[in-house]
Amino acid sequence: MEIKELFLIKKHFPIWQIPLVFRAAGTSLSGQSITDGILVDLSQHWDRIKVEEEGRLVRVQPGAIGAIVNAHLKRNARKIGPDPASISSAMMGGIISNNASGMCCGVVHNSYHTTKYIRFILPDGRLYNTEFPGDYLRFKQECEVLYLHLAAIRNRILSRPEVFKRIRQKYQTKNTVGYGVNAFIDYEDPLDILAHLLVGAEGTLAFIAEAVMETIPDHSEKSTAMLYFPDIYTACNAIVPLSESGAAAVELMDRASLRSVEHIKGMPEIIKTLPVDAAALLVEYQGENHDNLKLQIDAFLTKCPDLNLLNVPVFTTVPSEQALLWKVRKGMFPAVGAVRVSGTSVARCW
């Protein structure tokens, strides 16, 4: 399927009053790719990937798998910012449309903050690209009402300091609830605002045909450990020391979560013996070299005696052992979903 085919679809389906839903990999847990209208599958042909500027940028279509994008970037020691647990299957259309973050990227390197340019098609079939300066004037002329509405919303926010402050605070932590209204305070031109509203809009505003993503360094040195604590409160007390020492990932898991995967082949045996209120932190440090990595870990280890750990921290740099630890985290939601009662759903909180 090419752009011209999408134009044909966009032209006829509004006339027929049939809704369109675009689907990439369908790995999202929120059911956005379910419809009673027409489902447009993008997973087969919209998969072009082009590495640019020695890996500092990567141009992707919505059907490109996240892990394959990273494989293209690996020769430049770069990767995309978002690192969702489903990255081996998730495609860029969903990664962007859900404003995916992940286990290491936090807020700074999520889809919203690393998307540089977006090429998109509005429901009326008009195509715009934030990479082309001429499209800014064209958008103003062709979509005057939308342009003015976006500008008016931004002006209302800027005129109310308490609203501005509230939005800024809300997006300093992970927040994928509703539209990304931080676009109204991060960007000035209505086309840029609209383009960044698409990130996290779950496909409800426009079809993202292509995006240019800024990449981040893919550090070759990584060290991973699973830390166990008597309870959630004690585990949470360790998060600040870990963050201050430079941990790239800190994943919190309660006893119920750990119990859901403890019988899966390859899981650490210690999980089965943990107390009823126990909790765990999956921790990973990343560095440019071994010395940099060691400095970070040593900074944390000096604080360990005060953290009431159930185990002596053992950090591993062996890829197979690291993969096993990450398997604990990545296997949790599928494990919980697999044992749910038929006809029920698994609640997911943000």
Domain boundaries, the chain: 3-217, 221-338
Of 2-6, 93-97, 345-349, minimum mean pLDDT range: 345-349
Q: Of 1, 100, 97, which is closest to residue 42 (Cα–Cα)?
A: 1
Would you say 164 and 158 are in contact if contact means Cβ atoms under 8 Å apart?
A: yes
Residue 8 has pLDDT above 70, yes or no: no
Residue 347 has pLDDT above 60, yes or no: no
Q: Which of 42-56, 184-198, 295-309 is most confident? A: 184-198
Cβ contacts of 269-276, under 8 Å, gap ≥ 24: 270/228, 270/311, 271/328, 274/228, 274/310, 275/230, 275/310
> What is the chain's mean pLDDT, rounded?
88
Residue 5 has pLDDT above 90, yes or no: no
Separation of CA 283 from chain center: 18
154/193 Cα distance (integer angstroms): 9
Q: What is the mean pLDDT of residues 191-214?
A: 95
pLDDT band at 349 (very low <50, low <70, confident <90, very high): very low
Q: What is the mean pLDDT of residues 326-341?
A: 65
Q: What is the mean pLDDT of residues 109-113?
A: 94
CATH number of the domain at 221-338, out of 3.40.50.970, 3.40.50.2000, 3.30.70.2190, 3.30.2000.10? 3.30.70.2190
Residue 17 has pLDDT above 90, yes or no: no
Q: What is the mean pLDDT of residues 276-296?
A: 93
**How is residue 279 annotated by DSSP?**
E
Share of the chain above pLDDT 90, in %: 61
154/92 Cα distance (integer angstroms): 28
Q: Which of 6-10, 24-28, 90-94, 320-324 is most confident? A: 90-94
pLDDT band at 295 (very low <50, low <70, confident <90, very high): very high
Residue 122 has pLDDT above 70, yes or no: yes
Of 64-78, 79-93, 99-113, 153-167, minimum mean pLDDT range: 99-113
Share of the chain above pLDDT 70, in %: 89
Record the pTM: 0.82
Q: Domain 3-217: which CATH class?
A: alpha beta
Q: What is the mean pLDDT of residues 271-287?
A: 93
pLDDT band at 107 (very low <50, low <70, confident <90, very high): confident
Query: What pLDDT sits at residue 67?
Result: 95
Q: Matching CATH topology for 3-217 and 221-338?
A: no
